[in-house]
Amino acid sequence: MAALISPHLLKRLEQLQLLARRRSKSTAKGERRSGARGQSVEFADYRNYVPGDDLRRIDWNIYGRLDRLFLKLYEEERELPVTIFLDASESMSFGQVSKFDFARQVTAAVGYVALCGFDRVTVEPFPLGDDQVSLAGELRQVRGRKSSIRFFENLAKLKVAGTADLNQALRRGAMKHRAPGVSVILSDFLDPAGYEEGIKALAHRGSEIHAVQILSPEELEPSTYGDLKVIDSETGAEQEVTFGKYRLKTYRATVQNYCQRLQEFCRARGICYQLSRSDTLIDDLLLKAMRTGGMWR
């Protein structure tokens, strides 16, 4: 647990609550407002009394004024399904401060805030190696603050492996998690096949989506140039390039444009987008940027 997130930061996170603009439609009891009518203390509406209704829910003040029986209706509290899509591909191991290590810290924080709020947390790492299938199973349908220590332990055991298919991972997640909730995507979004179809599939389910793009400082602002051998961390493909100062400037502009397109794609669909360097102080991201970005309050 200490390797992922400090005890001091955990105390700060306990004071936060995930924001959900849409009402929860989960069938499990929790602490979120839903559209269903139940027994909570949050008043919702009235309806006419019919024989057999609970007499304790009659509003006798209205009866005294109108001489008619009306029943008080209350909003039922439901849990909020929170799904975190964690990019565990080889490309996420890049950087002096690993993108994957940073993403796991963010996963731990989002999961902890949700668990403290009695929401149901599922982490979907992708791609998933054969040796981590059972571990991923331990990270599904986690609920309750008492589960947080085990949650952190399992999260710390995850490793990067293989090549990611972001679109497939998100489409599969949309099929598995049909109940609308909060979905958080933690990735560098550098999949050659794109991200558009996967995000669209997730959004089609009515999920409230937060896309956090994590890039290393070396990817955003490379300082090395000259005759280089570039190796794809996922496929192992090699390519020799001459990278002069002019191309360095062009590269930086290309990366900036790519991130801008992703941001515009997300905003056009009501998706919260956040770009973060992997060397960002985790406290700053969680307590400042993500609060401003609407993740929690």
Residues 19 and 67 in one domain: no
Q: Between 234 and 57, name the one with better pLDDT.
A: 57
Q: Look at 120 and 130; give whichever has higher pLDDT.
A: 120
- State residue 289's pLDDT score: 94
| Residue that terminates a domain, selected from 78, 93, 111 | 78
pLDDT of residue 37: 42
CATH number of the domain at 86, please.
3.40.50
- Residue 44 pLDDT more than 80? no
Within-domain flag for 231: no
pLDDT in tens, 65-76: 999 898 887 655
Residue-level pLDDT at 21: 64
For residue 30, name the pLDDT band (cuts at 50, 70, 90): very low
Residue 127 covered by a domain? yes
Mean pLDDT of 25-46: 50
Write down the pLDDT at residue 34: 41
Say how many Å lie between the first and final Cα of the chain, rounded. Answer: 23
Phi, psi of 256 (to 5 degrees): -60, -40
Higher pLDDT, 174 or 20: 174
Q: What is the pLDDT of residue 43?
A: 65
Same structural domain, 147 and 13: yes
Provide the mean pLDDT of the chain.
86
| pLDDT the model gives residue 131 | 82
Residues 181 and 48 in one domain: no
pLDDT the model gives residue 167: 97
Please give the residue range of the domain that contains residue 47. Answer: 30-78
Q: Where are the alpha helices (DSSP H) in the chain?
A: 7-13, 60-66, 99-116, 133-138, 148-157, 166-176, 196-204, 217-220, 245-267, 282-284, 290-292
Answer for the pair 119, 143: CB distance below 8 angstroms, yes or no: yes
Considering the domain architecture, whether residues 62 and 205 belong to the same structural domain is answered as: no
Q: Are residues 89 and 205 in the same domain?
A: yes
Do residue 188 and residue 100 come from a single domain? Answer: yes
Q: In the predicted model, is pLDDT for residue 238 greater than 90? A: no
Query: What burial class does residue 272 get, using C-beta atoms within 10 Å of its C-beta: 0-12 exposed, 13-18 middle, 19+ buried?
Result: middle
Instruction: State yes or no: cis peptide before 81, omega within 30 of 0.
Output: no
Distance of CA 47 to the CA centre of its chain: 38
If asked whether residues 43 and 59 sit together in one domain, one would say yes
pLDDT digits (tens, 9 = 90+) for 186-222: 999 999 999 999 999 999 988 899 999 999 999 998 8
For 268-284, write each residue's pLDDT tens digit: 999 999 999 999 999 99
Does the structure show a pLDDT above 60 at 28?
A: no
Residues 19 and 40 in one domain: no
**Is pLDDT of 164 > 60?**
yes
Residues 142-160 have pLDDT tens digits of: 998 899 999 999 999 999 9
